[in-house]
Structure 1
Amino acid sequence: MKLTVLGGRGAWPTADAACSGYLVEHDGHRLLLDPGYAVMPQLLRHLRPEDVDAVVVTHGHPDHCADLNPLLRARALADRPAPALPVYAPAGALDAVLALDRPGMLHGSYELRAFDPATEPEFTSGPFRVGTRALPHHVPNAGLRLTAAGRVLAYTGDTGPTPALAELADAADLFLAEATYPEEVPEEDAPYLSSARQAGEHATRAGAERLLLTHLWPGGDEAAAIAAARRGFGGDVGVARPGTVVELGAD
């Protein structure tokens, strides 16, 4: 299983980093997770729009799904339109982004497969078994657990602290964890977002092998985030930067 980071900033993109966006590949199947702001140009560095096999969105905030629109446009308006793209998301999460164009413009370009992470704990996409967990955020959010060939990638989307994270990332080869702030989350957001320190603590409880911090606040101090996570986690810690590649299972 191969992860390529397309973007990893929260809220809005910066000049050198898109918002959340991750390409996960195995056995020729290409799964795009959370195509947020400015992810599309980064995606095009790696593959053509028609080469994406499926999209999975954790929740409906635009920094996690806005660039689904240009991806679908590129597929629908091509000289040879691509087949309908399977798009998995919590029910209602994509209503706004799918309403950006006139009715019918994207007809046939996608097949929306809504799911409820609280009641539908698993689906499959190509070789991937995708487990889901309902995690606390300002809007319904699905944590994802991707399994293929015995390897596990766990991804939080955006989440507040919850015991469900230890289950989501149980013995994961890679834990891709939201860490908007290094040490402390402001009180008003504390139930809905996480810090790097908390991400490290959750990785330890889960027994994850490796931790990759993502969704850092634009302009945030990456070194401070890594240091905070290391106070709670003794394994390998990094930050999700555009172009970062992780081969799960590689020697």
Structure 2
Amino acid sequence: MFTGDSGNKQRKDEKMKITIIGCQGAYPDQNQATSGYLIETENVRVLLDCGCGVISQIQNYILLEELDAVVITHYHPDHCSDLGCLQYASMILMQFGKRKKPLAVWGPGENERLSYGEYCTGNSYLEEDVFQIGDLVFASQKNVHDILSYAIRVEDRKGSSLVYSGDTGYYEDLSKFAEGTELFLCECSLYNWQKGKTPGHMCAEETGMAAKNAKAKKLCLTHLPPYGNRQQLLEEVGHKYQGELVLASSGMIFRQ
């Protein structure tokens, strides 16, 4: 059982740390979670998306009161369904003195959905917005999905970057947005035989093409389908992208 770090938010490791909390699309397998990615620096901890099972899983890595902010890419349940429970947690933890300040919650509009009394502060971002959380700078780009949805780029003060595609179909500007990133967390919802069958999502070769054109240094396939042999995705993506390639899994950690 994780016992935390006695409330000491400063990490000795100065590198940006990214932990995969959940990586499955639509619904999670047993003991897993849908989209959720924990980003940590020396002085801030931010959760990128908060899907089904994420609040349970994240407690394997940090205490809930140690979380500074949440950034939601869009309002489909597999990306935000645990937000309500996290808002309850923020309330209870503040009432008992374990949490000292409100949780900052960022999302594409709908501030009333993001805010929760004095316990969670809602903040809106729009297309091509740039906003800062601690020592991290976030940029947004509207992507291609069936509801309003964004890709997110995150950079630390040393210039290290990660780009998260969010849920999206293929579009050329995604590669420009992700250009040169150290880590590209890119959705890979479909096998190649499913290309075009689910608008607003990418098949493996499209994911590979997006990463290739971005010249991403490392590609992590995420938002994985809840069926089939997921190892096959690596082979299919590899026909387009020849850089460092991994399949996301819960607990996977990147430092950069």
Q: Tell me if TM exceeds 0.5.
A: yes
Q: Which residue type is aligned with residue 84 of structure 1?
A: P
Q: TM-score, normalised by structure 1?
A: 0.90
Aligned residues: 237
**Mapped partners of 2:69, 2:235: distance in 1:** 35
Kindly indicate whether structure 1 or structure 2 has the higher relative contact order, using CA contacts under 8 Å at least 6 residues apart: 1
Deviation at 1:182, TM superposition (A): 2.2
One-letter amino acid matched to 1:214 = T
Aligned to 2:97: 80
Contact between 1:17 and 1:241, CA under 8 Å: does it hold in 2? no
Where is the strand percentage greater, Structure 1 or Structure 2? 1
Structure 1 gaps, min length 5:
99-105
Note the C-alpha offset of 1:94.
7.5
How far, CA to CA, are the matches of 2:197 and 2:234 in structure 1?
24
How is 1:1-251 mapped onto 2 (pairs within 5 angstroms)? 1-78=16-93, 79-80=96-97, 82=99, 83-92=101-110, 95=113, 106-117=116-127, 120-148=128-156, 149-185=158-194, 187-190=196-199, 192-248=200-256
Structure 2 CA distance for aligned equivalents of residues 94 and 67 of structure 1: 16
How far residue 184 of structure 1 moved from its aligned partner, in angstroms, is 4.2
CA separation of 1:44/1:94 partners in 2, compared to 1, >3 Å: closer, same or farther? farther
Partner of 1:101: none
1:175-233 Cα distance to aligned partner (Å, 9 max, x none) = 0001101214454523x111122111111101100000001111342211111111110
Change (3 A) 1:208 1:22: same
Q: What's the CA shift for 1:168?
A: 1.6
8 A contact 2:25–2:224 mirrored in 1: yes
Q: How far apart are residue 50 of structure 1 and its match?
A: 1.0
User: Against the structure 1 CA distance between its residues 84 and 93, is the aligned structure 2 distance closer, same or farther, given a 3 Å change threshold?
Assistant: closer
Q: Could you tell me which amino acid in structure 2 is paired with residue 110 of structure 1?
A: C
Q: Secondary structure at the match of 2:233?
A: helix
Moved over 6 A (4+): none
Structure 2 residues without counterparts, runs of 5 or longer? 1-15
**Deviations 1:114-151 (CA, angstroms, capped at 9, x unpaired):** 1112xx42111111110110001011111000011211
Deviates more, 1:214-223 or 1:2-11: 214-223
Which letter maps to 1:88? W
Q: CA deviation at 1:173?
A: 0.2
| Structure 2 CA distance for partners of 1:93 and 1:75, relative to 1, 3 Å | closer
Asked if the contact 1:59/1:141 (under 8 Å) is kept, the reply is yes
Taking structure 2 as the reference length, the TM-score comes to 0.88
User: C-alpha offsets along residues 80-114 of structure 1, whole Å, 9 cap, x if unaligned?
Assistant: 2632111110013883x87xxxxxxx411111001
Look up the equivalent residue of 1:180 and give its one-letter code.
S
CA contact (8 A) 1:65 1:94 kept: no
Distance 1:188 1:197 in 2: 14
Identity %: 30
Letter in 2 for 1:35: C
* Paired AA for residue 80 in structure 1: G
CA distance in 2, matches of 1:243, 1:18: 11
Whether contact under 8 Å (1:185, 1:194) holds in the other structure is: no
